[in-house]
Structure 1
Amino acid sequence: MPGPIGTSPSRRWALVCTAMAASSRRRGVCPSEKPWSRCLSLHRMYVTLFTFTLLCLHWSRCSSDDDHEMEEFLKREFSLSKPYQGVGSLGSSHWELMGDAMITTEQVRLTSDMQSRQGAVWSRTPCDLKDWEMQVHFKIHGQGKKNLNGDGLAVWFTKDRMQKGPVFGNKDNFTGLGVFVDTYPNEEKHLEAQKKRYTPRTERIFPYVLAMVGNGSVSYDHERDGRPTELGGCTAMVRNLKHDTFLFIRYVSRRLTVMIDIEGQHEWRDCLDVPGVRLPLGYYFGASALTGDLTDIHDIISMKLYQITVLSKKSQDEEDEDEITIPSVDNFELLRVPESEERMSSVAIFFTVLFSMVGCVFLIVVGLLVYGHWSETRRKRFY
């Protein structure tokens, strides 16, 4: 016969209460004290407390993330993982290789540890999911020492695919979302050449993760490591680690969240969280990497896309369901004009107006002189 540990919770409580009653009788406790009733009351109190705790936890979970409850489903047609069957083969896979990228048994190698390499892997199918989550398992390693390696890798959700270019192996002036793992501090080296330094408030430690939304007319600023168009970012020491490193990108209810797991503790760390991000449907997922004079190995182990189903308390009528055609970010001006250019434009406008006024006055004076000379000549003709 099984003991109390193998019995149900109700059976265990009955055994405990029976033991309490027997102990009370042995001590000569008066039956009117009803130890069994007191035990049952204690049982009810614990059950009530346990139920209340469960309700609080459930309410907290449902109330998190702006009163949204989310369910996620793996979408295999947009996911890349071992054993990479058919990847790169025409028509036999959902993913396609570009440039110097190659397939091994353990990873998709975007670049080897050699100069002037760029490679990418792109999804063949456009994604029409409104809310999604991408988890990227990657590895960056090489022989280069600190700040003598480069250039980094990027994860994309863009309108165009399979386009070589200078932005971590993809084209500049892209349309969509780019999340960059930048391993070389171009701006810092440029400042050092000018014998300048960051201010403590603006200093960034590399490797650095940042996000950018492009609308097709915004260029990525290499010299400043994307600072003018950066939505947010964080430091991420991801090179030459012995444990796995992960990048988490979530786009739900027009909110972009990026987190990282690089400490080997299987815990996500916040990197950036930006509301009001508007991304159209039908874009392509991809990953790319680039090396220049400095090198690194950039590997993608897996890219897993999850469809997010949002169970919101808000009615659909209250949400803004306008179709998004151009990527944008609320309260963030993508087409920024540098301050120096703005000042030059104001000066140019001032001098243009000034010279126009002087020119008008000059023409009026010349006109009056010509008219006076003509009138004088005409008057002399009658004498």
Structure 2
Amino acid sequence: MLFKSLWTFTVLILTFSLGFADDDHEMEEFLKREYSLSKPYQGVGSLGSSHWELMGDAMVTTEQVRLTPDMQSRQGAVWSRIPCHLKDWEMQVHFKIHGQGKKNLNGDGLAIWYTMERMQKGPVFGNKDNFTGLGVFVDSYPNEEKQLEAQKKRYTPRTQRIFPFVLAMVGNGSISYDHERDGRTTELGGCNAMVRNLKHDTFLFIRYVRRRLTVMIDIDGQHEWRDCLDIPGVRLPQGYYFGASAITGDLSDNHDIISLKLYQLTVLRSQKEEQEEEEDVITIPSVDNLELLRLVQTEEGMSGISIFFTVLFSMLGCVFLVVIGVVVYSHWNESRRKRFY
């Protein structure tokens, strides 16, 4: 536990340092209309006249693209027809989740995708399982919590999540999304987001720049972004498709997309960085040091006081070990000298 805590503390420092380092790079953004979806949704879903295609129960109205109505056993999606070859990008999602169900009697949620596959129905928020690429999920039903309650068990305070919950996952085509545990085993990170039945607008922000994935939310009606997750070392190939999907089961909700706005980010890179990225071509989605990141997330699940005392006692323990080592070495050295005299 001592070395685990010290290593986690070091990783956290490095992660924050990298975050500040990225802010030093100048960045410009440009709206890419061919990858964006907004009112009045002209031609969406019609053959050959739009960049976006509807699937399943999705339908277009004057106010939104409704992925699912507030009805049981529905699933729908909207997918871009054009693959995205941008190196750095930012997606701003204006969405709404609302329905007649009371708290924890609604479901199941929606997802924003950047994947190799498109237009394939499935159980993962209306998309196929074992997908290849990135999924950011707004999960509105706590499957694992309900199962634990049925077994007369409960979460520990450090592992409990509050739903709706936003999380991200990177799949390589062979990793399955675990419904029973609400994606806990494969999540990169996440945050709670009370987004149901709000009267003000709700937004999701997904940025991928310099192989760093950042997700933020704006759900409080204050027009301020709140951090959700920030993960370095995320490797996503170019040429994948953007999409949004949703699903309902025995419980339901209206899942609406009001807009998807994609921005191309222009980031200044050194000649060395450009060369390194050209040589390191990404063909399969992956995340660097994934197990190490999970370790950091586990420690972050502790309270601030617990983290403080864990780090404090870890450092004291390290000092104690150094002192013991010095004393032992001094005794050994003294004994060694006595043998020679």
| Structure 1 position 193 matched with structure 2 position 167 | no
Q: TM-score, normalised by structure 1?
A: 0.70
Equivalenced residue count is 273
> 2:32 aligns to what?
75
SS at match of 2:53: strand
Assess if the C-alpha contact under 8 Å between 1:174 and 1:218 holds in 2: yes
Structure 2 residue 90 is matched with structure 1 residue 133 = yes
* Structure-1 separation of matches of 2:274 and 2:95: 40
**What does the per-residue CA deviation read over 1:154-207, in whole Å, with 9 as the maximum and x for residues that have no partner?**
000000000000000000000000000000000000101111100111000000
Note the alpha carbon deviations across 1:120-139, whole angstroms, 9 max, x for none.
Answer: 00000000001000000000
Instruction: Determine the structure 1 residue equivalent to 2:284.
Output: 326
Runs of 4 or more consecutive aligned structure 1 residues displaced over 4 Å after TM superposition: none
Deviations 1:276-330 (A, max 9, x none): 0000010000000000000000000000000000013564356333111100000
Asked whether the equivalents of residues 112 and 298 of structure 1 are also in contact (C-alpha less than 8 Å), the reply is: yes
Structure 2 CA distance for partners of 1:257 and 1:317, relative to 1, 3 Å: closer
Query: How many percent of aligned residue pairs carry the same amino acid?
Result: 86
Structure 2 match to 1:232: 189
Report the structure number with the largest CA radius of gyration.
Answer: 1
Counterpart in the other structure of 1:168: 125
Runs of 5+ unmatched residues, structure 2:
1-19, 295-341
Following superposition of structure 1 onto structure 2, how do residues 302-341 of structure 1 map, counting pairs within 5 Å? 302-313=259-270, 315-316=272-273, 319-321=276-278, 322-332=280-290
- Three-state SS of the structure 1 residue aligned to 2:181 is coil
Aligned-residue Cα RMSD (Å) equals 1.5
Offset from partner CA, 1:198-226 (integer Å, 9 cap, x none): 01110000000000000000000000000
Q: Which has the higher contact order (CA 8 A, sep 6+)?
A: 2
For residue 94 of structure 1, what is the aligned residue in structure 2?
Answer: 51
Please report the TM-score for the alignment, with normalisation by the length of structure 2. 0.78
Contact 1:67 / 1:312 at 8 angstroms: preserved in 2? no
Per-residue CA deviations over 1:328-354 (Å, capped at 9, x if unaligned) read 0001159x9xxxxxxxxxxxxxxxxxx
In structure 2, what is the Cα distance between the partners aligned to 1:257 and 1:149? Answer: 28
Quote the offset at 1:73 in angstroms: 0.2
Q: Which amino acid aligns with 1:323?
A: V
Q: Quick one: distance in 2 between partners of 1:223 and 1:64?
A: 38
**One-letter amino acid of the counterpart of residue 129, structure 1:** L
1:204 is matched with which residue? 161
The one of 72, 79, 82 aligned to 1:122: 79
